[in-house]
Structure 1
Amino acid sequence: MSPVTTTNTGAPPLPADLEALMRSLKMPHARALAPDLIATARAQRWEPAEVIKALFTEEAAGRARSMLASRRKAAGFPTGKTFDAWDPAASSIPAPTQQALRTLEWITRRENLVVCGPSGTGKTFFLEALGQQAVEAGMRVAWFRLEDLGVLIRAHRTDDSVTRAVARILRAELVVIDLCRARDYAEAFGGGR
């Protein structure tokens, strides 16, 4: 459902008790729309059920937008690239393979994916676009460069909380480890120690 929009800009504020009730129910999106919506409903003689439906629709849509933004932020994507800017024809990945990967079925089957190739061929772009699509599908994604993962492991090794840190990462349905360069292996883990 799309967010409700109203045309009345000079609506009276909500009564204090209704404002407090909506705050206690944690309905920030509906609360923001409520004064204009109530004024519009009064002017257009809406049925009470229409008002309630419009408020709940706005709250549900607002929560979905907030959850999507939270999942995107938590994923830690490097650039924000999506399939909107992706050119399937320019990729060396065969088109049927791209289409199969974009269904995300392999994620729900808990299959692994390794994408490798020469530098500059769009591996990171493609994986980030897959990750963005997974986030939009309601999945949790964790993105790491190999060197960042090495830093995380080293940081938790000192207090023996590596298991908890790894468990937190593995709660994501999709974990992407971008190797960046072949020499990152040695650098990320302290020269092979």
Structure 2
Amino acid sequence: GFQFQMGDGGAFEMMGGGPRRKKPKFPKGVPKDIAKSMNWLKGTEWNWNSWRNVKFDKDGTFDAPTHDCQGGFCRWSASPEGKVYILWGDAGLHELQVQGAMPKEQDQAKMQGLRMKGRRTSDGERCQATFQRVFDFEAAELERDLYGILGLPDDAEEADIKKVYRKLSIKYHPDKNP
């Protein structure tokens, strides 16, 4: 009879699509979250080393036009002191510092000319980024401290919230403030 045989069932046939990539993790000592004072950076686009534009997404994803940053495999975080940390795939960790006065809020006009400078930690290669634009205007808005705006603590009672709201609605009512 006729017998058909395919391979010997070796390692090559068993792999099925290659190894899975693991989501990157920040090394010890590097913040894994974005400090509240750095929320203005969420949803912004920057020019990297006069090369191409990169994006700081609101969920901590760093979006760059490189193969190793596809599918959310690059991340960013930031400390309250204005230090920005980027886990850039195979290139590794980059640490940058905001130059000059740090924005208190996301204001595209005031942020023009804003720069960050730093280094890649593996080899000390310098890097810099220049602010280009805000691409997600809701990103920073979502992080607003609404209780703080009302002058209330995070755990304020409903009655206190209503009291402050009523006072403000009277103060800013269009019929009373033409």
- Shorter-normalised TM range: under 0.3
Structure with greater helix percent: 1
Structure with greater strand percent: 2
